[in-house]
Amino acid sequence: MPSQSKATLVALRVELLDIEPLIWRRIVVSNQGTFAALHNYLQWVMGWQDSHAHEFRAGDQCIAPDWWIQEVGMDSDVTSYKDERRTSISAVVREGLSVSDSIG
């Protein structure tokens, strides 16, 4: 059985791309939180209203809501997609990947 990582805090710097002047936030989250929880937290700290589809990119993986994976799967291969409710922040941190969040 794989060992679970110890709960620790992870500091993240969140930057909005392609916008001047640079808008960013530094947030601290638990490494045991999921990307679904991270998405909700980002909505709150950025003052957003969760009005767009989203997906996180980590290396060659895409982490997204299950409904979005099903939607994309109608037109393309989704083998590189992971459900954001089942993917922990620690899983990506362990791999040393940087993460970007795409909003559609």
Per-domain residue ranges of the chain? 9-103
Query: Percent of the chain beyond pLDDT 90?
Result: 45
11 vs 21, more confident: 21
Q: Which residue has the higher pLDDT, 17 or 33?
A: 33
Q: Return mean pLDDT, the chain.
A: 86
pTM of this structure = 0.80
What confidence score (pLDDT) does residue 4 get? 61
Q: Output the pLDDT for position 99.
A: 67
What is 9-103's CATH number?
Answer: 3.10.290.30
Higher pLDDT, 37 or 97: 37
Residue 1 scores a pLDDT above 50: no
Q: What is the pLDDT of residues 62-103, one digit of tens each?
A: 999 999 999 888 888 888 899 999 999 988 877 766 666 565
Please tell me the predicted confidence (pLDDT) of residue 36: 96
Which 3-state string (H, E, C) describes 5-71?
A: CCCCEEEEEEECCCCCCCCEEEEEEECCCEHHHHHHHHHHHHCCCCCCCEEEEECCEEEECHHHHHH
